[in-house]
Structure 1
Amino acid sequence: MPDTQIVFLLSMPRAGSTLLQRLLMGSGVCKTVGEPSFLLRFLGINGDPILRAATYSEALVETAIDDMRKAWGGFDACYKKGVHDLAVSIYDGLAGEFPFFIDKTPRYSLIAEELVELFPEAKFIVLWRHPIAVMNSMSTTFREGRWEPHSFDLDLYHGMDQLRAICEKHPSRVHQVKYEDLAADPEKELASLGAYLGIPTLGDVANRELTKGNDGKLGDPTGVKKYSKVSPDSISEWERGIRNWYREAWVKKYFTGERAEFFRKMGYDIPQRMKDGKVPLGLIDGIRDWLYASRVMSRRLLRPLGSKRRLRRQAKKRGYFVAYR
């Protein structure tokens, strides 16, 4: 039996990755299990310790790994080979008789470059969605409609930039899909993806009912229950979420620099109603969002993970707060 074809499906949280995962499952040749996530424990060892939170001190582990590197020049190569071989064995076992295994883990955006380097035999799908749609979906799904962008800085800034980097650096290895295009014309997008993966009949899945889940506990908690087929209904509904001065100010700040240029090339821009000046002031609603975000920033991010001074210093360096919760 040939080795399993490993496919990494990378995206932001709330970008539609569970939908695409369910579509791939419908092909009959792809196996998947929720969001495997286990490589987050093994990779990212060259990163900033602030990207991790654990009961042990991640900074001490970073120091220990640095000591081993200095003591033996072969440490990195040995470690990477070990992680690669372990992961391949796990994927082969999980795939069973299926020729493809899909690892759909949104937080793999943090280790995207390492995955491309470590798995030269793998195929990579990057699923994009309008970043403000992502933020709005995070708000409605995880915060009961409260606008709290600071809690998702890790994804909206660091993760988004990592995905952008691998798409620009490895265009021949990464197949990019836009959620909006997938929802509007699933047969066309799936056919194109099938040509990349080597699944010539993937486009046929567009007309079938979606599988009821993704064989795991992690994934989209709402779309699985709400949709049995691909629907274009959610393409632009997020624009109604930009409804006050606080949210409008955040969107304008986020859409700046190289990131904004990349988004615009993909057809993503600030909502037209913002350009037309039609977003309501929403004074009280905006103050409510601002107060909630400020409270959460203090209670849930700064205090549990260390001194405010250290995190503010990192935020000044990066331009945004980065922390796991």
Structure 2
Amino acid sequence: MKEEQLVFIVSQPRAGSTFLQNLLSNNQDVNTCSEPWILLHFANQFKSDLVTGKYNNEYANIAFKDYLSKHEKFEFKNHLKALLLKIYEPLSVDHKIVIDKTPRYWEILDEIVELFPSCKVIVLKRDPLDVVRSIIRTWNIKNFDDLSRYKRDIIIGPRRIHEFCIQHKENENVYQLKYEDLITDTKSVTNSLYKWLRIDFKDEYLDIKNNLKTKGLFGDPFQNENKFTVNQTKSKKLSSKFEKLLKGYYNHLGTSFLSDYGNYDKRAIDSKKSISFYYYLHLANANNLDPNYVSFISKCKRLFATLYIRYLN
């Protein structure tokens, strides 16, 4: 299999990636599967700081690099690339394109284009506040502790995605789009993507209800539900504590970033600092967040917020 056949769909979770995957794979040219997380399984080989291990992964990585340094003629990166293409190969049989839709690939975007410079990457953006709302509703999040499982996706994800988009705005192999545009103008946006992928588009491809390629353990849980369940979940009102968190999240991201990210600053929301959000940041502790995105002042505010939430609120 050639790397030119690879297409990656990257986004935050709950940003519409399964819908996009369905639209792009509902034809004879493209094959895909439910989120395979293939590259994250090998993340230790190209971004080891994402991986922890009881055996001390940091030392293991140092030792492995030391081994490779003594055998310079052994081109490990090329062998790793060949192995990964071999893993994708079953999906390529009788198909021109293979789509790997794994939202959390935002963690390794730079590494993907370095390892596969001829692949294509589709970056799908959605209003970050709507992403959080969808996470809470879809997975029935009850408290901040449960929501902290998505801390990196929420706090770091949008900025990392935006940085990549700026860096690759002239890269013809990187396609940026917004979920909101995909929903409001599905046919036009999908047609443009088909042209970019150099495959023929037909109106019938928009009818995705019988596309079984994306069914699997991971991905959008709604794709296996009836419309009543889906609408009931999507219309569920958030609790006041989560609404307060969203106000703090809006303030944390800032209108300037939200505007640059996708004109997401034009919304009717009372943007203000929120103790609920700083408490959430405390749960999303510094050991799991990039220090570039969490300042010392934020850490102090998290400590105060913890005391307030637990003893005064």
Is the TM-score greater than 0.5? Answer: yes
Judged with a 3 Å threshold, the aligned counterparts in structure 2 of structure 1 residues 7 and 59 are, in CA distance, closer, same or farther, namely same
CA contact (8 A) 2:34 2:215 kept: yes
Q: Counterpart in 2 of 1:268?
A: 264
Question: Deviation string for 1:118-145 (max 9, x for gaps)?
Answer: 1122111111111111111112223435
Judged with a 3 Å threshold, the aligned counterparts in structure 2 of structure 1 residues 147 and 28 are, in CA distance, closer, same or farther, namely farther
Unaligned runs of 5+ in 2: 299-313
Q: How does 1:223-234 map to 2 (within 5 A)?
A: 223-226=223-226
CA distance in 1, matches of 2:127, 2:218: 22
Amino-acid identity (%): 26
Q: Counterpart in 2 of 1:154?
A: 152
CA contact (8 A) 1:44 1:111 kept: no
Q: Which amino acid aligns with 2:102?
A: T
Q: Counterpart in 1 of 2:35?
A: 35
CA contact (8 A) 1:188 1:203 kept: no
> Which of 107, 112, 117 lines up with 2:114 in the alignment?
117
CA contact (8 A) 1:128 1:177 kept: yes
CA distance in 2, matches of 1:22, 1:53: 33
CA distance in 1, matches of 2:292, 2:168: 27
Judged with a 3 Å threshold, the aligned counterparts in structure 2 of structure 1 residues 201 and 262 are, in CA distance, closer, same or farther, namely same
Give the alignment's Cα RMSD to 1 decimal.
3.8
Question: Deviation string for 1:46-101 (max 9, x for gaps)?
Answer: 5463x3234432222222234235434556xx222122111212222222212111
CA contact (8 A) 1:31 1:101 kept: yes
Q: Counterpart in 2 of 1:175?
A: 175
CA distance in 2, matches of 1:173, 1:52: 28
Q: Is 1:251 aligned to residue 227 of structure 2?
A: no
CA contact (8 A) 1:4 1:101 kept: no
Q: Is 1:56 aligned to residue 55 of structure 2?
A: yes
Q: Counterpart in 1 of 2:104?
A: 107
> How big is the shift at 1:4?
7.1
CA distance in 1, matches of 2:164, 2:86: 25
Judged with a 3 Å threshold, the aligned counterparts in structure 2 of structure 1 residues 316 and 12 are, in CA distance, closer, same or farther, namely closer
Aligned residues: 289
TM-score when scaled to structure 1? 0.74
Judged with a 3 Å threshold, the aligned counterparts in structure 2 of structure 1 residues 158 and 71 are, in CA distance, closer, same or farther, namely farther
Unaligned runs of 5+ in 1: 303-309
Q: Counterpart in 2 of 1:142?
A: 139
Judged with a 3 Å threshold, the aligned counterparts in structure 2 of structure 1 residues 290 and 166 are, in CA distance, closer, same or farther, namely closer
SS in 1 for 2:287: helix
Q: Counterpart in 1 of 2:83?
A: 86
Q: Counterpart in 1 of 2:294?
A: 319
SS in 1 for 2:19: helix
